[in-house]
Amino acid sequence: MPFQHTSIPDLIIFEPQVFTDSRGYFFESYNRLTWAETDKSPIFVQDNQARSVRGVLRGLHYQSGEMAQAKLVRVIEGEVLDVVVDLRKNSPAYGQWYSILLSAENKKQLFVPRGFAHGYIVLSETAEFFYKCDNYYSQKHEGGIRFDDHKLGINWQFDLSKVLVSDKDLALPNFGDHLPVE
């Protein structure tokens, strides 16, 4: 089975079977029937892709309420450290974070359920990040928390004095100042 469960409930690593030969490689990055084998069978409605340079940190973002999003994230080119924080008020892992190295080389994907803040930092010279969402983007429902909040203590495996972060992300509240996601 290509799925690994993490220490946080509902957070799943997907490692597809990769077929390689002298021409290169082939793999199914998503197959609804394969996902039906899990207790999660998302129906994705939107794909997003971003290209960034080394040291770009995006996040930690989420959408709440009726517009909450589950995501299946992966890296097409380069390498990132992907980080999620459980914001589900009733979760035994509320406030815990999890990180995983995602790269074009390892082809791992992370399923991020609704109710998580999500972000990543680019560790390679450039990276192309791709993700599928099970709900549409809604500016009205977007939220976020600071990537460098000391209460969370996230190890970004990068010198945070050298990160490139948007002004919008720098203005996000700390973990205790956001509303839990339902």
Residues belonging to the active site: 61, 131
Which residue, 111, 106, 113, 98, is CA-closest to 77?
A: 106
What type of residue is 131?
Y
| Rounded CA Rg of the chain | 16
C-alpha 100/C-alpha 81 separation (Å) is 6
Any residues with CB less than 8 A from the CB of 99 and at least 6 apart, and which? 81, 82, 83, 84, 154, 155, 156, 157
Which residue, 182, 76, 177, 54, is CA-closest to 124?
A: 54
Which residue, 48, 53, 83, is CA-closest to 165?
A: 53
